[in-house]
Each structure stands twice: as C-alpha cells, then as structure tokens.
Amino acid sequence: MSVALKDIVSYCNDYLSVDRFKDYCPNGLQVEGKGTVSKIVSGVTASQALIDAAVESGADLLLVHHGYFWKGEAEPLVGIKGNRIRTLMKHDISLLAYHLPLDAHPEVGNNAQLAKIIGIHIEDGMDQGNPLSVGNVGSISQPMSATAFSDLVSDKLNRKAVLVEGDSRTVKRVAWCTGSAERMIERADQLGADIFISGEISEPVVHYAREAGIHYLSAGHHATERYGAKALGEHLSKTFGIEHQFIDIDNPA
C-alpha cells in the first residue's frame, strides 16, 4: 500500500490547523523526497541517529516534532545540518515536521497525550477558552502529595522527574506544557494549579515555586514530547492504511 506524499502533507496540515499558528520554524514538509509513501517513521527530533535509523528501516517519510530551519539558526546547509539533509535527500526520504501544532492538538498533541499517560483530566487550555492552547490545565481524580505525584509521573514516563516543592499543599489541580516551557509557571500559578509540569528546569523557576507555593515538576523535554509524533504516526497509519514505526532515540534532557 502506498499513498501520495502530497495527500499526507495536506491532510496533516489541515488536521493540525497549521495555518492558525505563529511558530519559530516552518510547519509541514521541510524536505521533499519520493512522491509516494508506504512507510512512515516517527520520532522526536530529526537528529542524524534518527535519520540513520529511518534509512535502516526503509522509511519514505520521517515525521518529527523538532525539524529544522529554526528562527535564528544559521542557514547554510553545511556541517551537521548539511549531513542530516544530505542523508535524507540521498535516500529520497521526506521530512515532515510539526512544532507548536503538534504540542496543541487536542487528540494527538504532546500535551493531550501526556495527560492521557499520566491520567490527568483535561479541563481547559492554559490560554483559557482557546482550543489550540499550547499547555493545559486539569485535575487528577485522587489528590496526593507532591512527592507521590512526582513518583507517579516518573513511573509513567520511565524517567526520574525533578521535583521542586512549593508549600505543603496536596496536588489536585495540575497545569502542564511539554518541552521547554518552565517560564509558564507564573501562568500556572495564576490558574490556581497546585503543580506545574514541563520538560526543563532553570534557576529562577526554583525560586518562583518556593516563593509562590506552587510545586514544579521537570519531567524531561524529550520524555514529555515522546508521544505526539508517535500518536500522529499511528493516526496516519490508520487513516491511510500504511506502515508506521516510532523510533525513540534516547535523550536524558
């Protein structure tokens, strides 16, 4: 079974409402390979290791959350960037990348998928009332201590999360935004969250949590964004009847 590349691209652009986002990179087809697709490989970041694994597995299309051509990045196709793109083009593999649209999508998005895995009931966007909000707020059914919640998340994501305890409050209301969104802790606090989950940690966020009383949980940039591209790949596989494989290139960050 194979499907026209352009059909997959236009389906994804539409499904993820790409036109409605202002982003730091182009969303959609970043590198064009062969015109038909019979196998999709998905992964978090279009690193050389993921591209090599995609070549090895016979992919026609590589689907990622972190592609190329970020604002401020050097443009010439030389060095590491040149090698990555040369490998894709040499093997006629297309690169399809979705950044914010894949964080925000209410079903396959990184934030929606993270909620499903941890068991958080989604109530709203962190940008309240916006169905395409990047980041959400919701609740867990059984209130628990911050350490118990941190252990639960570590267990579900198979990665030790870093907990910064605020005050002594138990966790019931949760806000989260995958990737590197630790600065959104202030917004999480305004929304009345007991804990805010994101991927990375920075020095000021620790003081903010301690002084505001909200807990902060740094659960890993890679670990929190491992599920969106995979869910989209599975969705495309079902929709178009083509093969899909998610390849996880381990990353401690």
Q: Residues interacting with Zn ion, by CB under 5 A?
A: 179, 225
CB of 29 to Zn ion, least distance (A): 19
Nearer to Zn ion, 23 or 123 (CB): 23
Alpha-carbon distance of 146 to 121, in angstroms, equals 17
Nearer to Zn ion, 3 or 12 (CB): 12
CB of 147 to Zn ion, least distance (A): 27
Q: Which residue is nearest to Zn ion (CB)?
A: 179
CA atoms within 13 A on the CB side of 43: 22
The string of DSSP letters for 147-171 reads HHHHHHHHHHHTSPPEEE--SSPPE
Q: Residue 196 is encoded by which pair of tokens?
A: 């805010």
Alpha-carbon distance of 176 to 224, in angstroms, equals 10
Q: Largest Cα–Cα distance of the chain, in whole Å?
A: 57
What is the three-class DSSP state of 30? strand
CB of 232 to Zn ion, least distance (A): 15
Q: Residue 56 is encoded by which pair of tokens?
A: 């090895």
Give the number of residues written for the chain: 253
Nearer to Zn ion, 10 or 48 (CB): 48
With residue 234 as reference, give the H or E element that holds it. Answer: helix 228-240
Nearer to Zn ion, 225 or 243 (CB): 225
Alpha-carbon distance of 224 to 153, in angstroms, equals 10
| Contact of 134 with 100, CB cutoff 8 Å | yes
Which residues face 173 on adjacent strands?
139
CB of 120 to Zn ion, least distance (A): 19
CB of 44 to Zn ion, least distance (A): 8
CB of 185 to Zn ion, least distance (A): 17
Nearer to Zn ion, 33 or 179 (CB): 179
Nearer to Zn ion, 94 or 110 (CB): 110
CB of 170 to Zn ion, least distance (A): 30
Nearer to Zn ion, 39 or 226 (CB): 226
| Contact of 41 with 249, CB cutoff 8 Å | no
